[in-house]
Amino acid sequence: SEAWGGRSANRGQCAQACRLPYDLIVDDERKPLGDARYLLSPGDLYALQQMPEIVRIGVHALKIEGRYKDADYVALTTAAYRQAVDEAWAGLPLSITPRQEVQLEQVYSRGLGPYFVAGTDHQAVVRGRSPRHRGVLMGRVTRVLADRVWLVPEASAADAPLKPGDGVVFDAADWRSPEEPEEGGRVYHVTPQLNGALELTFGNGAINFARIRPGDL
């Protein structure tokens, strides 16, 4: 960034290709992107699970990205890496809990993953559907009624259960086109079902249920 555009990443002025806005043109037609124009914005590196190997090969210093992050991000991230590094140095197994991982997902990020630390997988580095903060995956939609949605919760949802007032967004299932604006809103009520599913209701008129399908996330 410094050599290319005279903007130093170490001073919070990175201007690499992944930090720039783009237009998306499909079949000679420009697609509206709203505020999601940073199409090459990669996810945030999450290498806690690789920390024993990183220490073993002789890495002596880590840089934790923190530009424009809030105090919650700084506190949770530095505490988790401090724990992982100390355990790796002591030869102890990594003891990061699922709850800690959920807390790290809840603070602002563009999605977490080991990315190139774990090998080359370009499709995993950039989330083309939404290169911005998504929070915790809560589950998959199983039923859509006239005024409510049923979903089967993910295992991670046990450490961050849905409650009234939480905001959710529905991602189109892999087999559906994600081109339309996302549907979402704040939860008004959560009702557990006998089969383990959760029934979600929302404020009057907050959700267009016709745009949600079984299989959506």
Co-location of 12 and 57 in the same domain? no
**How many structural domains are present in the chain?**
3
Co-location of 63 and 112 in the same domain? yes
Please tell me the distance from the alpha carbon of residue 50 to that of residue 94, in angstroms, as a whole number.
Answer: 9
More confidently predicted of 128 and 172: 172
Q: Residue 69 corresponds to which amino acid?
A: K
Co-location of 171 and 98 in the same domain? no
Mean pLDDT, residues 93-99 taken together: 86
Query: Is position 17 within any domain?
Result: yes
Co-location of 49 and 120 in the same domain? yes
Q: Which of 49-63, 64-78, 118-132 has the highest mean pLDDT?
A: 49-63
User: What's the pLDDT at 89?
Assistant: 92
Co-location of 56 and 9 in the same domain? no
Query: Is position 188 within any domain?
Result: yes
Q: Residue 36 corresponds to which amino acid?
A: A
Co-location of 96 and 159 in the same domain? no
Q: Answer with the one of 94, 125, 156 that is the final residue of a domain.
A: 125
Query: Is position 110 within any domain?
Result: yes
Least trusted range by pLDDT, from 109-113, 148-152, 192-196:
109-113
Phi-psi region for residue 91, left (φ > 0), alpha (ψ -120 to 50) or beta? left
Co-location of 175 and 154 in the same domain? yes
Query: Is position 192 within any domain?
Result: yes
Q: Answer with the one of 97, 125, 153 that is the final residue of a domain.
A: 125
User: What's the pLDDT at 86?
Assistant: 94
Per-residue CA distances from 72 to 104, 118, 161, 198, 199 (Å): 9, 27, 20, 29, 30
Q: Which domain holds residue 27?
A: 2-31
Mean pLDDT, residues 30-58 taken together: 83
User: What's the pLDDT at 118?
Assistant: 83
Query: Is position 133 within any domain?
Result: no
More confidently predicted of 100 and 85: 85
Query: Is position 38 within any domain?
Result: no
Q: Is 138 helix (H, G, I), strand (E, B) or coil?
A: coil
Least trusted range by pLDDT, from 141-145, 178-182, 198-202:
178-182
- Counting beta carbons within 10 angstroms of the beta carbon of residue 166, is it exposed (0 to 12), middle (13 to 18) or buried (19 or more)? middle
Q: Is the pLDDT of residue 92 over 90?
A: yes
Co-location of 104 and 81 in the same domain? yes
Co-location of 83 and 156 in the same domain? no
